[in-house]
Chains A and B, each alone.
Chain A
């Protein structure tokens, strides 16, 4: 009886220790801290297209 209780307590302790370790296992999402879209300001696509009034760049050589 006593051995059984000791086993259960030891098992529970081990489980708690494991859970504690797992709590520090954060998903390693490299983009998880990105908080905004570079295109979210509205000007890039708010209010329709821009036709050819905006001149963009591009490779030159």
Chain B
């Protein structure tokens, strides 16, 4: 009897998620509106691991995920040059029959309850209410009024400091939406962003930049894929997009948009990993 009770109690403890902080040393900094984390949801974790590992040199490791009962195998941390840059969720462990693979963009807030209230009050849909994930903080998943999924987090140990983008690391985050004005208004209301329109030379559209305290944090663009679901797209800084796309299919991914020159300078490309989650490539700086 005692053993059974202990096992049941351990079972309850086992589902207490305790994710490590997104910064390995506490920063006690708060950067509202900054994209501070990226999680890959994938139904092909092994193939995804190989894909991103081969393309960008990322390393995957298993955290001590569950309090008291060792490690879980449904979540992995991603490192680049030794630094934590994201996570990977095995969606098979979520009991999903459908493929929900995608990258989830996570934006920092100071008060997640208040931010979720603002999101709900301005047309957002709360997919997952604020929830504690241990040392990492509290997190919520939201669908914006135009249909794009994103997450917000109130970190417990602080946000990562701003730093120059490194090769094969995150460079930029961008919302592709079918209603730029509505989306920009929503993110302004939720995070306090200012949004500035920039006319791109030789391009047939404006580019909206979301800024907080005069720092550019993300872009908003009319969805290049007409009629498709709005989506947050994450850009990796690469040296040569063509060299990356040349490897994609052999690693189980797909090239969705071949490397192309940008009117403003540099090159971009858009690829999908083995599970179908898309990710963009860009050279940086522009010239």
- A-side interface residues toward B, CB under 8 Å? 11, 14-15, 18-19, 21-22, 25-41, 43-45, 49-52, 54-61
Contact = CB atoms under 8 A, between A and B. Distances in A.
B15 A52 contact: no
B255 A49 contact: yes
Counting contact residues on chain B (CB < 8 A from A), the size range is 35 or more
Given A31-B91, A34-B128, A34-B141, 7 more contacts: A18-B9, A27-B17, A32-B95, A34-B104, A44-B272, A45-B278, A54-B257
Residue from A15, A35, A59 whose CB has the most chain B CB atoms within 10 Å: A59
Interface of chain A, main secondary structure: loop
A50 B225 CA distance: 10
Given A22-B8, A31-B91, A40-B276, A58 B266 contact: yes
Contact of A60 (B207, B256, B280): B207
Interface of chain B, main secondary structure: strand
A41 B229 contact: yes
Interface stretch (B154-162, B181-189, B216-224): B216-224
Contacts of A31: 39, 41, 89, 91, 94, 100, 104, 128, 141
A37 B98 CA distance: 9
Nearest to B174: A57
Nearest to B260: A52
B12 A56 contact: no
B219 A57 contact: yes
A8 B140 CA distance: 44
